Amino acid sequence: MTETQFIGVAVDAYSTGNFLPAAFARHGAKLIHVQSTPALMPSMLAPNMNEYLENIVFDNEANTVQRLGRHQPVCVIAGQEPGVPLADRLSELLGLPSNGSALSPARRNKYEMIETLRANDIRCAEQFKADNAEEILAWVRETHCLPCVVKPLSSASTDGVVICHNEDEVLAAARQVLASRDIFGLANREVLVQSYLDGVEYIVDTVSAYGRHYVCGIWRYEKRLISGGKNIYDKDILIAEDAPEVAPLIHYIHSVLDALGIEFGPCHAEVMLTQAGPALVEVGARLNGNMHPDFHNGCLGHNQADLIAQSYVTPGLFAERFGGRHYRKRQEAIVFNVATNIEGTVVGLSEQVVAQINALPSVFLASYKVKPGQQLRPTQDLLSSPIRVFMRADNYEDILRDYDVINRLKHEVYVLR
């Protein structure tokens, strides 16, 4: 066994951040984990601490920098959304490649994010924030901004996002946000309202090094509008690199990354392609939440986690191979976030139905997210989708055929009482 040459640091590596330790290991590095909160956040898949050299629970900057500095790390990265500001600050204090802390609020707070774009003359939504629902409604009336979108300032996964078509819906949505916590367990002290961007929504995933950006995948969202004004995820569809919308999306996202000061590491952006051109919905300076290394390797020839590791461990090689370029699609692919309208306590899974789904030719991996003893509830957002299926094939028609089968079987997967 050879001695590890490089040490990296991941802050709050929840959810797809769990793919980072193996990715860095493939590039000759090990990771230390920094936990930004005294206790792990229960709303997301927790980091596997056995995959890290150690876990440091953040207490203050001086102590954490001193402990990390002994290892001479090559990078500090955010493993998931809550870790972005701390990763920015620690990398800055350690003198490592860093996006810096000056624009950290613009990379987490959706209001600051859009205002930063506006200050740089980049197309974006009109918006307003307040700490009470009545001020939100007053702004909507004054600006005649209907339909509009009401959402929390710093959440994710469509948590609390509501499309409102009348004043009653605006007031109800704003009150609901202010009365709740976001998916990271933090109280929503303000609420954001934005003009509705009418168009087709895309995912644009990137990895950057020294200000040179690589677009590692563009996916088109297909969503379904359900009662209450919520748009729920259905399919993320990988689009070809020569599709007509790719060039304007890439040009736009480069300007967004530059404006938000994202010079290093990953970004997961959601962009609406309107009649006037691309306009940002929001970005997260972290991995795509629907990323799976082996799945993406098959349909894209690479994956965001390994690209991140390479950009820090061998930055010269990364710049040579990827700097300023974009992906090429190898296979048709979708990520299907299955919705349900039934509820009950889960007793178990139907082995027969699960076997049928897993055996479908285009199914790479199906994840059954509700465990025995937990409640299955009607889908309201990405987090409440009970099944996620990664699908790929040479022909899109083959994927759609299997997609239809899964839709027919979805209510038979869980045994309820």
Q: Which domains does the chain have, with CATH numbers?
A: 6-104 (3.40.50.20), 126-195 (3.30.1490.20), 200-331 (3.30.470.20), 333-416 (3.90.1170)
The Cα–Cα gap between 182 and 40 comes to 15
pLDDT in tens, 179-220: 998 877 788 999 999 999 999 999 999 999 999 999 999 999
The Cα–Cα gap between 215 and 302 comes to 11
Q: What is the pLDDT of residue 155?
A: 65
Tell me the mean pLDDT per 10 residues along the chain, length 417.
74 97 97 97 93 98 98 97 96 98 95 97 97 96 95 74 92 94 83 95 97 97 73 91 98 98 97 97 95 98 98 93 97 96 96 98 97 94 90 98 98 96
Q: What is the pLDDT of residue 49?
A: 98
CA-wise closest residue to 287 among 5, 87, 73, 64: 87
Q: What is the pLDDT of residue 230?
A: 65
The Cα–Cα gap between 143 and 167 comes to 12
DSSP 20-61: HHHHHHHTTEEEEEEESSSS--TTSPPP-GGGSS-EEE---H
- What SS3 class is residue 381? coil
Residues constituting the chain? 417
- Residues 123-139: b if buried by 16+ CB within 10 A, e if exposed: bbbebbbbeebebbbeb
Q: What is the pLDDT of residue 228?
A: 60
The percent of residues above 70 in pLDDT, for the chain, comes to 96
And the tokens for 87?
Answer: 């990763």
Phi-psi region of 142 (alpha: psi -120 to 50; beta: other; left: phi over 0): alpha
Q: What is the pLDDT of residue 229?
A: 56
Paired with 379 in beta bridges are none
Q: What is the pLDDT of residue 223?
A: 84
Q: What is the pLDDT of residue 226?
A: 66
The Cα–Cα gap between 195 and 140 comes to 9
The Cα–Cα gap between 125 and 115 comes to 9
Q: What is the pLDDT of residue 227?
A: 63
- What SS3 class is residue 331? coil
Q: Is 11 within 8 Å of 36 (Cβ atoms)?
A: yes
Q: What is the pLDDT of residue 1?
A: 30
